[in-house]
C-alpha cells in the first residue's frame, strides 16, 4: 500500500472513532445506562442496530459512550508514558555513566514484571477508576519506552554529525534536543502507536478484574469483559467492542507509520 | 596466447535496468582463463551491477533486460537458481568491498571457511580443517589454528579481507570477482591484500576481475582494463596501452586525475607565527591498556597545511582529535593562541572550540539526515554573536558559492552525492572563518576525479580564508598535492617529519619508505610490475 493510502485510511478510521466518541458524549440513540429487561440479549435489529446486552442496554449507545472513555484513557496514557520514557531515556543515553546504570537497573527491575501485573500493583496505590488506570498504566509502560529511546540514543550519538555538532561549539543540551532527539523519533513513534493498542487491551483486562472504570459506565474494555459469559449464544456482545478495539489499533498503526515516514526526509523521495 | 582460445567469461550487449532506468546500456566484456582484468569506473557507472550480474546476485528490483553472459560455457541469463548455486563458489567467487560486514559476526572463522567446502566437496571434517588452516597460512594469518576458533571482530579490516579471500579461494574458482576489495583499507594493507590475491590466483589458475576506481591499482595488478561510465562501455584494451595513450577523453581524464601530483598548495610562509602546538601529547581511551598516541610534540604555523600520515592504527586520527579537544589527553598539553588544553582538566576553552573545526572522513554520517543543507552549513553561525541576521545570511550564501553548492539550501543530505556531501562538511567547517581545521581523511571515501576536485577546493579555500590545516591521510598522492609539511606516525609516535618534497622523495625512516612503496602509482617503475611477471608464468 502506498504511503498516501496508508495515511488516508488511518486518518479516516481514527476520525470515525473520534467523532463517535465526541458525539457519544452528548447524544446516543438510547440511554446507555437504561436497563430494559424486555430486550435482554436481543440480537441486532432495526431498533437496536448492534443488539442489546444482558441488561437490555443498547450496544451501539454503549459503544459510543465508551469510545471517549477508552480512547481518552489510551491517548492520555500513551502521551504520559512516552513523555516520561523519552525524557528519562534521553538522559540515560546521553549522560551514560552512573546515572545511566542507575536508571537501567530500575527499568530492568520494572520490566521483569509483566506490564499488567505492574499496573495491578500500582492501582492498589492509586485506586481504581479513570485516573488510577491512567497513572498505573503509564508508569507500567514507561520502562519499555525508556529502553527503546535509550538504545536509539546510543546508536545515534555515535554518528559523526553528533560529534560535528560538538565541534561547532553547541552545548550538550542543544545537541541532545536538536540532533539526537529528532533522529530517535522513528522508533518512538512506532512504539507509541503500538502501545496505544496494548493500553486499550490492558484497560479491558483491568476492567475484567474489576479494577477498571467502575460499572455501569461503559468502556470498550469492560463491555468486552462483560460479554464473556454470553460468548456462545450472544456473539454480538463481544464482536462489537472487539471490532472497535481492532479498528482503533489499525487506525493508530497506519497513522503512526505515515507519521514516521513524514518525519523522515529520506522517505519523502522514495 | 591465441585469440581462438575460448574465453572464460563472455558478456555480450548486457543491459540491466532498475525501475525505468537503464544502468547498463549494452556492455561487452571478455576475460580469458587466468588473466587479470580491471573494470574501472566511478560510483554510479554500473560496474558493481555488472559484476553482480555475472553471479546473478542482483538486488531486488534490478533486472537483466538484454544481452548474454557466458561463464565457463554456461549461459547465465536463463540459468535457474539451482544451477547458479552450483556455479557460485566452485566456478566463480566474489570478494566484497566492506570487510567489516561481509563476514558473519556470529560465526567463527573456522565455521565460515568450512561452510563452502562442506557444500561443494565431499571432504571429511579433518580434511576440511587441514585445508582451511593451509589456506589461512597462505593468506598470511599468523596463527591459523587459533584463527579458526576466533570471531570476525577480533581481526582488523585488512586481516578480515584476507580471510574473506581465503574463504573464496578455498574452492579454487575459475573466476574471482573482487569488487573494490581494498577501498576501505589503508595503503599498506591494500598492497598486502592485493599481492596475496594475485599470488593465490596465479597458483590456482584463477582469472581475476578487479573492480575499482583506483587506476594505480589497475596499472599495478592488471593487464587488461575496461572503462565504464554511466552504464556505457567507454574503452577497453590492454592496461598499459590505455594508460600510455587512451583514445577516449574520459579515460584520459581518469588517467590524468590519477597522475596529478603537482602541488596545489601555495608556498608556505615559513616566517608565520605558530598557531597551535602539541607538547608531549599522549592519548589513551577509557578501558584500553595501550595508548593510541604516546608522546607527540608538533607545531603548526598560521595558514600552513601539515599532513599527518600513517597506516590504520598509527594514532593519526587520535592525535588530530586530541588537538581540538575531541580525544582525552592522558599526558601533555595543547596550546592555541594563549589558550591551553591540558591533561589535568581536559576541557577545551570557548575561543579555541570556536576557532578549531573539523572535516570528518565519512560524508555519509557526518551530516544530520534530518536537516536541510542550508541549515547544516549555517549552524555554526549560532555562535557568531557579532554577526547580524543579514550578515549571517550573506556569509552562508558566500560559503555555499565558494564550495560550489549555491542553490542547494533546501536539499537534504541524502539527495547529494558523496562529493557534494563532503563539500557541505567543508563549508560547515569554514563558515565561521576558523583559524585551524582538522581534516580527517576527507577524500578517502570519494572517487578519483571527485577526490581531485575536493582537494583543489580545500587548497583554494585555504588561499582565500587563510586557515591552517592538519590533513590526516594515508593517501600519499593527495598529501603531495596539498601539504607543506608531512608528519609520519607509526604506533602512536612520530617517526619522521619534514617538508613534503623531502619526505616523499628522500624518506629517511624505513616505515616512511614502506608507505611510499606501497602507494599505488600509475606508472610502475621498471621491473616492479607484478602483473606482467605473473601472467608470463601463466602463459
H or E element, residue B22: strand B21-31
Superfamily of domain B9-102+172-259: P-loop containing nucleotide triphosphate hydrolases (3.40.50.300)
DSSP B267: P
Question: B-chain residues within 8 Å CB-CB of A170?
Answer: 379, 382-383
Neighbours of B63 (CB within 10 A): 13
Which residues 359-418 of chain B have a CB within 8 Å of chain A?
Answer: 360-362, 365-370, 379-380, 382-383, 412, 414-415
Q: What is the pLDDT along chain A (270 residues), one digit of tens a residue?
A: 566 788 889 889 989 988 988 888 888 887 887 777 777 777 777 777 777 777 778 888 888 888 888 888 899 999 999 999 999 999 999 888 888 999 999 999 888 888 788 888 888 888 877 888 899 999 999 999 999 999 999 989 888 899 999 898 898 899 999 999 999 988 888 888 888 878 887 887 887 777 877 777 888 888 888 888 887 888 888 888 888 888 888 888 888 888 777 777 666 543
pTM of the model: 0.75
Q: What is the ipTM of this complex?
A: 0.75
CB contact under 8 A, B357 and A183: no
Cβ-nearest to B360 among A160, A263, A269: A160
Cβ-nearest to B366 among A161, A265, A268: A161
Res B90: pLDDT:
87
Superfamily of domain B274-518: P-loop containing nucleotide triphosphate hydrolases (3.40.50.300)
Q: Is residue A46 part of a domain?
A: no
CB contact under 8 A, A264 and B415: no
CB contact under 8 A, A182 and B354: no
- Greatest distance between any 2 Cα atoms in chain B: 77
Q: What distance in Å separates residue B357's CA from the closest CA in chain A? A: 6
Q: Are B208 and B171 in contact (CB under 8 A)?
A: no
B/e letters for B197-221, b = 16+ CB within 10 Å, e = fewer, are bbebbbeeebbbbbbbbbbbbbbbb
**Among candidates B510, B474, B532, B512, which has minimal Cα distance to B190?**
B474
Neighbours of A164 (CB within 10 A): 26
Res A199: pLDDT:
87
User: Using CA atoms, how far apart are residues B478 and B258, in angstroms rounded to an integer?
Assistant: 10
Q: Does A163 touch chain B (CB under 8 A)?
A: yes
In DSSP terms, which residues pair with B293 in a beta bridge?
Answer: B283
Question: A-chain residues within 8 Å CB-CB of B348?
Answer: none
Q: Is residue A41 part of a domain?
A: no
User: Using CA atoms, how far apart are residues B413 and B424, in angstroms rounded to an integer?
Assistant: 9
Tell whether the torsion through CA atoms of B74, B79, B83 and B84 is positive or negative. Answer: positive
Question: What are the pLDDT digits (tens) for B117-141?
Answer: 888 888 888 999 999 999 999 998 8
Terminal-to-terminal C-alpha distance of chain B: 7
Terminal-to-terminal C-alpha distance of chain A: 13
What are the angstrom distances between the C-alpha of A78 and each of A86, A137, A143, A180, B438?
12, 9, 12, 22, 45
Which residues 133-162 of chain B have a CB within 8 Å of chain A?
Answer: none
CB contact under 8 A, A160 and B354: no
Q: Are B25 and B232 in contact (CB under 8 A)?
A: yes
Q: Is residue A135 part of a domain?
A: yes
CB contact under 8 A, A269 and B415: yes
Which residues 312-331 of chain B have a CB within 8 Å of chain A?
Answer: 324, 326
- Strand B293-301, strand B468-473: pairing: unpaired
State how far Cα B242 lies from the chain centre. Answer: 23
> By three-state DSSP, how is residue B354 classified?
helix
CB contact under 8 A, B353 and A169: yes
Q: Is residue A42 part of a domain?
A: no
Peptide bond into A216 cis (omega under 30): yes
Q: What distance in Å separates residue A266's CA from the closest CA in chain B? A: 6
List the CATH number of the domain containing A140.
Answer: 1.10.3720.10
CB contact under 8 A, B326 and A182: no
Q: Does A169 touch chain B (CB under 8 A)?
A: yes
Q: Are A179 and A93 in contact (CB under 8 A)?
A: no
The total number of structural domains in chain A stands at 1
User: Using CA atoms, how far apart are residues A69 and A59, in angstroms rounded to an integer?
Assistant: 15
Q: Does B357 touch chain A (CB under 8 A)?
A: yes
User: Using CA atoms, how far apart are residues A231 and A220, in angstroms rounded to an integer?
Assistant: 16
Q: What distance in Å separates residue A184's CA from the closest CA in chain B? A: 11
Identify the segments of chain B with pLDDT beneath 50. 1-2, 524-539
Q: Is residue A45 part of a domain?
A: no
In 3-state terms, chain B is what percent helix, strand and coil (to 5)?
Answer: 40, 25, 35
* Sheet containing B21-31: order of strands: B21-31, B9-18, B62-71, B74-75
Question: B-chain residues within 8 Å CB-CB of A268?
Answer: 412
Q: What distance in Å separates residue B346's CA from the closest CA in chain A? A: 15
**Among candidates B459, B441, B177, which has minimal Cα distance to B321?**
B441
* Interface probe with A: pick from B379, B385, B430, B435, most Cβ of A within 10 Å: B379
Res A245: pLDDT:
87
Q: Are B42 and B418 in contact (CB under 8 A)?
A: no
Residues ≥6 apart with Cβ < 8 Å to B337: B275, B276, B351, B352, B355, B435
- Pick the residue from chain B with its C-alpha nearest to A181: B370
CB contact under 8 A, A169 and B350: yes
**Among candidates B51, B535, B487, which has minimal Cα distance to B298?**
B487
Q: Does A1 touch chain B (CB under 8 A)?
A: no
Q: What distance in Å separates residue B358's CA from the closest CA in chain A? A: 7
Domain that holds residue A207: 3-33+52-269
Q: Which CB contacts under 8 angstroms, 24+ apart, belong to A168-173?
A: A168/B357, A168/B379, A168/B380, A168/B382, A168/B383, A168/B428, A169/B350, A169/B353, A169/B354, A169/B380, A169/B382, A169/B383, A170/B379, A170/B382, A170/B383, A172/A94
CB contact under 8 A, A179 and B368: yes
- Pick the residue from chain A with its C-alpha nearest to B324: A167
CB contact under 8 A, A160 and B362: yes
Q: Are B314 and B489 in contact (CB under 8 A)?
A: yes
Cβ-nearest to B370 among A160, A169, A265: A265
User: Using CA atoms, how far apart are residues B233 and B231, in angstroms rounded to an integer?
Assistant: 7
Cβ-nearest to B365 among A160, A263, A266: A160
Domain with CATH 3.40.50.300 in chain B: 9-102+172-259, 274-518
Question: A-chain residues within 8 Å CB-CB of B326?
Answer: 163, 166-167
CB contact under 8 A, A265 and B414: yes
User: Using CA atoms, how far apart are residues A82 and A252, in angstroms rounded to an integer?
Assistant: 15
User: Using CA atoms, how far apart are residues B47 and B11, in angstroms rounded to an integer?
Assistant: 13
Amino acid at each position: 500500500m502506498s504511503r498516501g493510502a496508508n495515511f488516508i485510511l488511518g486518518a479516516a478510521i481514527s476520525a470515525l472513532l473520534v467523532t463517535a466518541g465526541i458525539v457519544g458524549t452528548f447524544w446516543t440513540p438510547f440511554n446507555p445506562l437504561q436497563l430494559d429487561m424486555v430486550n435482554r440479549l436481543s440480537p441486532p435489529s432495526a431498533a437496536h442496530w448492534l443488539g442489546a446486552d444482558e441488561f437490555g442496554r443498547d450496544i451501539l449507545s454503549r459503544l459510543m459512550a465508551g469510545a471517549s472513555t477508552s480512547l481518552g484513557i489510551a491517548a492520555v496514557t500513551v502521551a504520559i508514558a512516552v513523555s516520561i520514557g523519552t525524557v528519562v531515556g534521553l538522559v540515560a543515553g546521553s549522560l551514560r555513566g552512573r546515572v545511566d546504570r542507575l536508571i537501567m537497573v530500575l527499568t530492568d527491575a520494572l520490566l521483569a514484571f509483566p506490564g499488567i501485573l505492574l499496573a495491578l500493583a500500582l492501582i492498589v496505590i492509586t485506586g481504581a477508576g479513570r485516573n488510577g488506570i491512567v497513572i498505573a498504566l503509564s508508569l507500567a509502560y514507561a520502562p519499555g519506552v525508556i529502553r527503546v529511546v535509550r538504545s536509539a540514543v546510543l546508536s545515534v550519538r555515535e554518528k559523526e554529525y553528533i560529534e560535528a555538532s560538538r565541534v561547532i561549539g553547541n552545548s550538550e543540551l542543544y545537541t541532545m534536543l536538536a540532533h539526537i532527539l529528532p533522529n530517535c523519533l522513528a522508533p518512538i513513534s512506532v512504539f507509541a502507536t503500538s502501545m496505544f493498542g496494548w493500553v486499550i487491551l490492558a484497560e479491558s483486562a483491568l476492567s475484567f478484574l474489576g479494577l477498571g472504570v467502575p460499572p455501569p459506565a461503559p468502556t470498550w474494555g469492560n463491555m468486552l469483559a462483560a460479554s464473556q459469559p454470553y460468548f456462545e449464544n450472544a456473539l454480538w456482545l463481544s464482536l462489537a467492542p472487539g471490532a472497535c478495539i481492532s479498528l482503533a489499533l489499525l487506525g493508530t498503526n497506519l497513522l503512526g507509520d505515515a507519521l514516521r515516514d513524514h518525519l523522515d526526509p529520506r522517505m519523502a523521495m522514495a | 596466447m591465441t585469440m581462438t582460445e575460448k574465453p572464460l567469461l563472455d558478456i555480450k550487449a548486457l543491459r540491466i535496468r532498475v525501475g525505468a532506468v537503464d544502468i547498463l546500456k549494452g556492455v561487452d566484456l571478455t576475460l580469458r582463463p587466468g588473466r587479470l582484468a580491471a573494470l574501472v569506473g566511478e560510483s554510479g557507472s554500473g560496474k558493481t551491477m555488472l559484476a553482480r550480474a555475472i553471479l546473478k546476485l542482483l538486488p531486488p528490483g534490478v533486472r537483466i533486460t538484454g544481452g548474454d553472459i557466458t561463464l565457463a560455457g554456461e549461459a547465465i541469463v536463463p540459468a535457474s537458481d539451482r544451477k547458479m548455486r552450483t556455479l557460485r563458489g566452485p566456478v566463480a567467487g566474489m570478494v566484497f568491498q566492506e570487510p567489516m560486514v561481509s563476514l558473519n559476526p556470529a560465526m567463527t572463522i573456522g565455521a565460515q571457511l568450512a561452510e563452502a567446502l562442506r557444500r561443494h566437496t565431499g571432504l571429511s571434517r579433518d580434511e576440511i580443517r587441514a585445508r582451511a588452516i593451509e589456506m589461512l597460512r597462505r593468506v598470511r594469518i599468523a596463527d591459523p589454528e587459533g584463527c579458526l576458533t576466533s570471531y570476525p571482530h577480533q581481526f582488523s579490516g585488512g586481516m578480515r579481507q584476507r580471510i574473506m579471500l581465503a574463504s573464496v579461494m578455498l574452492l579454487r574458482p575459475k573466476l574471482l570477482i573482487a569488487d573494490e576489495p581494498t577501498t576501505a583499507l589503508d595503503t599498506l594493507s591494500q598492497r598486502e591484500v592485493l599481492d596475496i590475491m594475485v599470488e593465490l590466483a596465479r597458483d590456482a589458475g584463477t582469472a581475476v576481475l578487479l573492480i575499482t576506481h583506483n587506476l594505480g591499482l589497475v596499472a599495478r595488478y592488471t593487464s587488461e582494463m575496461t572503462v565504464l561510465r554511466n552504464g556505457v562501455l567507454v574503452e577497453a584494451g590492454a592496461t598499459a596501452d590505455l594508460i600510455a595513450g587512451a583514445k577516449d577523453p574520459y579515460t584520459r581524464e581518469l588517467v590524468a586525475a590519477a597522475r596529478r601530483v603537482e602541488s596545489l598548495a601555495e608556498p608556505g610562509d615559513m616566517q608565520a607565527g605558530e598557531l597551535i602546538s602539541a607538547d608531549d601529547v599522549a592519548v589513551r581511551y577509557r578501558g584500553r591498556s595501550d595508548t593510541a598516541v604516546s608522546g607527540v610534540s608538533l607545531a603548526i604555523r598560521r595558514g600552513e597545511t601539515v599532513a599527518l600520515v600513517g597506516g590504520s592504527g598509527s594514532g593519526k586520527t587520535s592525535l588530530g582529535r586530541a588537538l581540538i579537544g575531541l580525544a582525552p589527553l592522558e599526558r601533555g598539553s595543547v596550546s592555541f593562541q594563549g589558550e591551553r588544553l591540558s591533561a589535568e582538566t581536559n576541557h577545551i576553552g570557548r575561543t579555541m572550540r570556536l576557532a578549531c573545526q573539523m572535516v570528518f572522513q565519512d560524508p555519509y554520517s557526518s551530516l544530520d539526515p534530518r536537516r536541510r543543507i542550508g541549515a547544516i552549513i549555517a549552524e555554526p553561525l549560532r555562535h557568531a554573536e557579532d554577526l547580524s541576521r543579514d550578515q549571517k545570511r550573506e556569509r552562508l550564501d558566500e560559503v555555499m558559492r565558494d564550495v560550489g553548492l549555491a542553490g542547494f539550501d533546501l536539499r537534504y543530505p541524502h539527495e547529494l552525492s558523496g562529493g557534494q556531501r563532503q563539500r557541505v562538511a567543508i563549508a560547515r567547517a569554514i563558515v565561521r572563518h576558523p583559524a585551524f581545521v582538522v581534516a580527517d581523511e576527507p577524500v578517502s571515501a570519494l572517487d578519483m576525479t571527485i577526490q581531485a576536485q575536493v582537494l583543489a577546493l580545500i587548497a583554494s579555500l585555504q588561499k582565500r580564508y587563510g586557515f591552517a590545516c592538519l590533513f590526516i591521510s594515508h593517501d600519499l598522492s593527495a598529501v603531495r598535492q596539498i601539504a607543506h609539511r608531512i608528519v609520519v606516525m607509526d604506533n602512536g609516535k612520530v617517526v619522521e617529519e619534514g617538508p613534503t618534497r623531502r619526505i616523499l622523495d628522500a624518506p629517511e625512516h624505513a616505515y616512511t619508505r614502506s608507505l611510499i612503496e606501497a602507494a599505488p602509482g600509475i606508472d610502475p617503475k621498471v621491473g616492479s610490475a607484478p602483473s606482467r611477471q605473473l601472467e608470463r608464468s601463466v602463459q
